[in-house]
Structure 1
Amino acid sequence: MMASVLSRPNDQSFRRPGGSASRYSRPLSLALIAPLLLLLSIGFLYPIGLLIKLSLFTPELDLSSYRKIIEQPIYLSVMARTFKIALFVTIASFLLGYPVALAMASLKRRLAAAAAAAVFIALWSPVLVRSYAWIVLLQRNGVANNAMTELGMVEAPLKLIYNEGAVIVAMTHVLLPFMILPIFAALRSIPQEYVCAARTLGAGASTAFLRVTLPLSLPGVFAGCVMCFILALGFYITPALVGGPGTLIVATLIGQQATVLLDWPFAAALSTTLLIATLTMVLVFRQAFSISKGFASVD
């Protein structure tokens, strides 16, 4: 009797009129999210506002920092290189991460938990340690060059580090868990009955995957691609260590302008430009994935 009373609360004060018991009233909902909104305003919106103000007013309205970005080709080249590397890293993470997530989703509960634990261990490893590991592997006298030399594949050590290829490989390794986990979660939420129904109606394994599994997993693909792309745009440690001075990206350039040259307005202009470009790319990603019925179904 007591259990039945506790399982069905009669207090109507937290219910919305005409709604279910799981929904709160509007004032209570606003009160619950007020701390989060306050934290978001103080920790994100206010600093972004100061950044934009610093890039525009020094102390009067001045667009010279933005004109400098447009007029000097080197800065546009750095911006283009940053987006190119971020795009390649996102594509590589998807091509490597989707099969891993698909294999994890097909495992039984205990094996899937073990595989997820392995992904989390890679995620929790410090970025600095993983970047130095790639230096050990790819340097002139590193593991990769020594192995190829001993096997007779090359006569002299190759330049495998301090180039864009090394940056893409190292950043893909670091960001791969951010692609695997959202796709894995999306795949695990797909009822197996859908695939079984498609196979029963005559679809082959590849057709069932392309017509059922892949479209329904696009929300996870969207989340993973957005996270990988945005994180790749702001990466600092890995490109600085593995790429060297010849692979300058926007994050490294901003750090140089702010800490070495002390040109804070120009650093703020670069940051604002990168922020606007990132938001634009997120909208493009969303529009591209919203074409799918699988993504539209959760919108």
Structure 2
Amino acid sequence: MTRSLASLSSSLSFRRSSSARFYSPNASLALVTPLIAALLAGFLYPVARLIALSFSGGTLSHYRRIFTEPLHLDVLFSTIEVAFVVTVASLLLGFPVAYLMARLSRGLAMAVAACVFIPLWTSVLVRSYAWVVLLQRNGIINRLLIDTGVTEWPLKLIYTEGAVILAMTHVLMPFMILPIYSALRALPPDYVRAARNLGAGPIRAFVAVTLPLSLPGVFAGSVMCFVLALGFYITPALVGGPGSMLMATLIGQQTTVLLDWPFAAALSTVLLAVTLLFVLLFRRMLSLSKGLNSVY
């Protein structure tokens, strides 16, 4: 008995020593170093160069120009407004789709998911140009409205802010559906059944159980949609035209037409700061919602 305990103890000590050697800090550092190098080379260094370029001349003249000229402030606030409206529209349209997918059988849910995510395999340029074809003066929608007697003359649907919001919502809605579907799919059905057994109706069970537990997916989808909408370039440029300028199109104009790279870098830095600010705000809202869920 003593010999067996001694052999077991030596075996365990050998395993602990071999595990310690395998998971040594040096080995972990060697595994992480290529990832850190790739992050530094592919993200941090370009961002640092961008910020340094925005301070060319050693002054704040480019930032002063952004925050003192009404045109640039209007473009910044318009970008935030469009991104907010697109995020809300994607949420209102995407939540029912995700909820339906979560309640269907796995086979039907995969079929619906395929219909939702197949457009992601198509270029954003192609999808944006499709909206140009649909919304133009002689497009399908205007033709349908005229043929059905809704209007006698073609409506101005293209090159408006509404067209930009519509096209961007179509492009970004899958990024809202997927996180919400994942959160709803992970929700145990016993929770809803327990609420129903305790006397809650379908709406009450949804508001008290399903909606609060789906908030992490809602916030994740909202962050992705909002951040992507802030930096969208192709869709506003094609569908919105010159009259619907957002920050991305303004930055593109500065780099390709006016060749004012320092000012474009300052605009990009401001857009990056706004994006980080809203990401932190979303994280704060998510932590508050988790705290409320734990209380109730």
Q: Same fold (TM over 0.5)?
A: yes
Matched with 2:4 is none
Counterpart of 1:176 (choices 170, 173, 177) is 173
Letter matched to residue 101 of structure 1: A
Using the aligned pairs only, state the percent identity: 63
Q: Following TM superposition, by how much is the alpha carbon of 1:203 offset from its aligned partner in structure 2, in angstroms?
A: 1.1
CA contact (8 A) 2:62 2:263 kept: yes
Q: Deviations over 1:52-84 (max 9, x none)?
A: 0111133xx111000110111000001111111
Shift of 1:28: 4.1
Greater mean deviation of Cα atoms: 198-207 or 71-80: 198-207
The structural deviation recorded for 1:26 is 4.8
Q: 1:51 to 1:189 in 2, by over 3 A?
A: same
Paired positions, count: 281
CA distance in structure 1 between the partners assigned to 2:28 and 2:222 by the alignment = 31
**One-letter amino acid of the structure 1 residue matched with residue 239 of structure 2:** V
Q: How does 1:203-282 map to 2 (within 5 A)?
A: 203-282=200-279
Distance in 1, matches of 2:17 and 2:50, equals 44
Give distance in 2, aligned partners of 1:150 and 1:241. 27
Q: C-alpha displacement at 1:14, in angstroms? A: 7.2
Gaps in structure 1 of 5+ consecutive residues:
1-9, 18-22
Q: Which residue of 2 aligns with 1:161?
A: 158
Query: 1:109, 1:27 → 2: CA distance?
Result: 44
Question: Would the alpha carbon gap of residues 26 and 195 (structure 1) be closer, same or farther in structure 2, given more than 3 Å must change?
Answer: farther
Looking at secondary structure, tell me which structure has more helix per residue.
2
**How well do the aligned residues superpose, as a CA RMSD in angstroms?**
2.0
TM (normalized to structure 2)? 0.90
Please state if 1:186 is matched with 2:183.
yes
Instruction: Tell whether the 8 Å contact from 1:149 to 1:156 is kept in structure 2 after alignment.
Output: yes
Q: Say yes or no: does 1:56 pair with 2:55.
A: yes
Deviations 1:17-61 (A, max 9, x none): 9xxxxx956554443333222211110111000100111133xx1
Is contact 2:195-2:205 (8 Å) kept? yes
Write out per-residue CA displacement over residues 169-203 of structure 1, whole angstroms, 9 at most, x where no aligned residue.
00000001000011111111111111111111111
For residues 106 and 230 of structure 1, the distance between their equivalents in structure 2, rounded to whole angstroms, comes to: 29
Is the Cα contact below 8 Å between 1:182 and 1:221 reproduced in 2? Answer: yes
Taking the TM superposition and a 5 Å limit, the aligned residue runs for 1:67-146 are: 67-146=64-143
Seen in structure 2, the aligned counterparts of structure 1 residues 29 and 115 have a Cα distance that, compared at 3 Å, is farther
1:285 paired residue number: 282
TM-score scaled by structure 1? Answer: 0.89
CA distance in 2, matches of 1:77, 1:35: 42
Counterpart residue identity of residue 45, structure 2: Y
Letter in 1 for 2:220: A
The residue aligned with 1:38 is 37
Q: Which amino acid aligns with 2:36?
A: L
Task: Tell whether the 8 Å contact from 1:98 to 1:183 is kept in structure 2 after alignment.
Answer: yes
